[in-house]
C-alpha cells in the first residue's frame, strides 16, 4: 500500500480510516474521496476529490490521476437506510462495488471493501456463527453484502485481483456518527447518556449483536491488507468481532460511570426485525488464524474510553 484511494471517505469508517492511513503511510499517499465535501480534516489534511462511485469513468480517472496502487471502497448505504430505499441501495451498493472492482482490475490495484454481519440471515446459526455457513440474508443490505463477498471472490479467482475484506459487526466510535444502521443504538446511547442521562432504545432488550470499537476495526483493515497472501485461505469476508451485548448490558456498563443513567425502550419494528435476522455472536477464529486478527477493547474499556472522549467533544 503506497498510494491509496478511499471512497466514502466522509462516512462512518472512512472519516477515521483516512486519518489513520495518513498517519501510517503519509498525508500525500492517501486520496480521500466522497460524493460531497465538508470543512474538516479529511478534506484538508491531504488530497481530496469529489467522486460519485456510480460514475465508473470518474472513478477510473481519479485512480489514474494519483497513480494509486490500492483502493479501499467504503461508500455504501447501511442496513436501515437500504431497507427504506432498496432500489437506491442496489444501485449504490452494487453499482459502486462493480465500478470499484473494475478499476482495480484495469489498474491492477490491491482492493479492500467491508462486508458485514448483515450478510447473515435468519437461518444462519445464531451463536458462534462459523466463517463458512448458510447466509441467505433477508434485507437488501444483506443481499448486497453477500453478492459483494461473492463478487470480490470472483474478481480474485477470475482476474487475479488482490481482493480482501472482513465482515464488520456494529462499529462504535466517538468521531463520525453512523447514520442509517441497525447497530447505531450502541453509539447513540453514549451521546444521550452524557447529554441527557437517559436513552430510548429502538432495539429491544435481549437482542444481542456483535460490536467492535473503531480503533480495532481500523487496525484490522491495515493488518489484513498487510498480511502475507499465502496465508489467506479466505479473502473477502472474514468474520471479525470484539464483543456481543444487548442494550441492558451496555446500559449496565454506562451506569458504572453515570449511576443514574436510565434506559427505556421504543422498539422500531423495522430495525428490530433486521437485528433479529442477524447472528447473536460470530466466530472470528479464521481471521485470527489466517492473518492474526486481534482486538484491544472489550465492552468495559470501550465504554470508559467512549465516555471520556465524548465528554470532551460534547463540552467543547
Binding mask 128-147 for ligand SER (x = CB under 6 A): -------------x------
Distance CA(283)–CA(171), nearest Å, equals: 17
Query: Torsion angle of alpha carbons 290, 294, 299, 302, nearest 10°?
Result: -140
Shortest Cβ 78–ligand SER spacing (Å): 4
Angle at 310 between CA 305 and CA 313, to 5 degrees: 140
Q: Is 183 in the site for ligand SER (CB under 6 A)?
A: yes
Look up 174 and say whether it is catalytic: no
User: Exactly one of 96, 118, 247, 279 binds ligand SER (CB under 6 A); which one?
Assistant: 118
Distance separating alpha carbons of residues 65 and 68, to the nearest angstrom: 8
> Can residue 14 be called a binding residue for ligand SER (CB under 6 A)?
no
Contact criterion met (CB below 8 Å) for 125 and 85: no
Q: Does 113 engage in binding with ligand SER (CB under 6 A)? A: no
Residue 50 in grid coordinates: 469529489
Question: CB 231 → ligand SER: shortest distance, Å?
Answer: 26
Q: Helix (H) and strand (E) counts for the chain?
A: 13, 16
> Taking CB positions, which residue lies at the least distance from ligand SER?
181
Q: How far is the CB of 45 from ligand SER (least distance, A)?
A: 25
Cβ(229)–Cβ(31) under 8 Å? no
CB-nearer residue toward ligand SER: 48 or 141: 141
Residues 226-285 close enough to bind ligand SER by CB under 6 A: none
Choose, from 141, 155, 185, 190, the residue flagged as catalytic.
141
Please, which residue, 115 or 303, has the CB nearer to ligand SER? 115
* 149 vs 151: CA distance, rounded Å: 6
Q: Which residues are catalytic?
A: 141
Amino acid at each position: 500500500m503506497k498510494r491509496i484511494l478511499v471512497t466514502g471517505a466522509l462516512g462512518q469508517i472512512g472519516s477515521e480510516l483516512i486519518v489513520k492511513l495518513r498517519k501510517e503511510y503519509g498525508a500525500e499517499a492517501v486520496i480521500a474521496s466522497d460524493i460531497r465535501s465538508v470543512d474538516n480534516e479529511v478534506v484538508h489534511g491531504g488530497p481530496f476529490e469529489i467522486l460519485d462511485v456510480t460514475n465508473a469513468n470518474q472513478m477510473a480517472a481519479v485512480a489514474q490521476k494519483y497513480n494509486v496502487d490500492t483502493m479501499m471502497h467504503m461508500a455504501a448505504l447501511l442496513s436501515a437506510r437500504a431497507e427504506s430505499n432498496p432500489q437506491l441501495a442496489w444501485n449504490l451498493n452494487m453499482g459502486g462495488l462493480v465500478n470499484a472492482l473494475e478499476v482495480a482490475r484495469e489498474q491492477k490495484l490491491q482492493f479492500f471493501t467491508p462486508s458485514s454481519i448483515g450478510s447473515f440471515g435468519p437461518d444462519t446459526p445464531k451463536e458462534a456463527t462459523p466463517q463458512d455457513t448458510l447466509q441467505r440474508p433477508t434485507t437488501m443490505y444483506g443481499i448486497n453484502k453477500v453478492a459483494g463477498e461473492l463478487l470480490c471472490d470472483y474478481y480474485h479467482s477470475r482476474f487475479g485481483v488482490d481482493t480482501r475484506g472482513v465482515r464488520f459487526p456494529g462499529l462504535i466510535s466517538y468521531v463520525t456518527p453512523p447514520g442509517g444502521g441497525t447497530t447505531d443504538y450502541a453509539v447513540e446511547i453514549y451521546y444521550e447518556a452524557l447529554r441527557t442521562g437517559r436513552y430510548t432504545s429502538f432495539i429491544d432488550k435481549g437482542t444481542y449483536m456483535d460490536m467492535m470499537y473503531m480503533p480495532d476495526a481500523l487496525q484490522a483493515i491495515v493488518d489484513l491488507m498487510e498480511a502475507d497472501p499465502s496465508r489467506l485461505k479466505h479473502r473477502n469476508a472474514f468474520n471479525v468481532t470484539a464483543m456481543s451485548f444487548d442494550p441492558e448490558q451496555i446500559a449496565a456498563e454506562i451506569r458504572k460511570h453515570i449511576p443514574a443513567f436510565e434506559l427505556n425502550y421504543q422498539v422500531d419494528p423495522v430495525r428490530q426485525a433486521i437485528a433479529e435476522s442477524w447472528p447473536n455472536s460470530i466466530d472470528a477464529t479464521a481471521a485470527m488464524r489466517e492473518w492474526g486478527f486481534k482486538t484491544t477493547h472489550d465492552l468495559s474499556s470501550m465504554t470508559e474510553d467512549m465516555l471520556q472522549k465524548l465528554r470532551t467533544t460534547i463540552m467543547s
